[in-house]
Amino acid sequence: MSWPNRITVLRLLLVTPFVLLLVNAAFHPAYRYGALGLVVLIGVLDAADGIIARRTGTVTKIGSVLDPLADKALMICALVALSFPGVLSEDPDIHLPYWVSVTLVSREVFTLVGAVIVYLLAGFFQGLPSVSGKAATVMQFVTVVLTCAWPDLLAWQPRATGIVLNVVWAATVGLAVLAWLGYIRTGSKLLTAGAGDR
């Protein structure tokens, strides 16, 4: 259990308090700020464990499984929770639109199931990072952070907030779909190559 993997496990453990704070965000701003602080901390830890693993040469097979699993656990929980009206604020209109959450959660579930299928049929379970995939992950993180901060942004810039959020949401969904198509293409190639080897 290397330090990068320990950090990844910590990220997984922080998902639970993040969700608990988030679902109580409407009751007091402190809960929302706590959830926002935790999601930023998880993002920093995500970047840190990758940098440490590469610089120390401690990239491991279990790390390549745990790292995307931690990302997906956070994103699926956050996206689902943020979709419910009344979670962030008493205003029922302040919630992540369903066209955003359904698309992004579907992509996360698809890539997770796809990775398991590739493992079962081709014999290995390995993260397959791509530029579009990394960009989509970053934008999903930005989406979660900005959506958590929506009530505060609305109080600060009521006119610009809606425009900014919709632009970010559209960009995130666009990148997610692009990465999704890339995963389908890559997975098909791996399955074809695995079948050929057998």
Sequence-ordered alpha helix ranges (H) in 27-130:
29-56, 61-83, 98-122
| Ranges 47-51, 79-83, 117-121, 173-177: which has the least confidence | 117-121
Average pLDDT, the chain: 86
pLDDT tens string 118-133? 777 766 655 556 677 8
Give the least confident one: 9-13, 62-66, 137-141.
62-66
Q: How far apart are CA 122 and CA 62, in angstroms?
A: 18
Average pLDDT of the segment spanning 42-69: 83
Q: In the CATH hierarchy, which fold is given to the domain comprising 3-197?
A: Four Helix Bundle (Hemerythrin (Met), subunit A) (1.20.120)
Instruction: Give the separation between CA 154 and CA 156, rounded to whole angstroms.
Output: 5
pLDDT of residue 128: 55
pLDDT-derived band at 97, boundaries 50, 70, 90? very high
Write the single-letter amino acid at 20: L
What pLDDT is stored for residue 198 in this prediction? 52
| Domain boundaries along the sequence of the chain | 3-197
Residue 85 has pLDDT above 60, yes or no: yes
Give CA angle at 79 (96, 93), nearest 5°: 20
> Tokens 């074809």 correspond to what residue?
192
Find the mean pLDDT for residues 160-181.
93
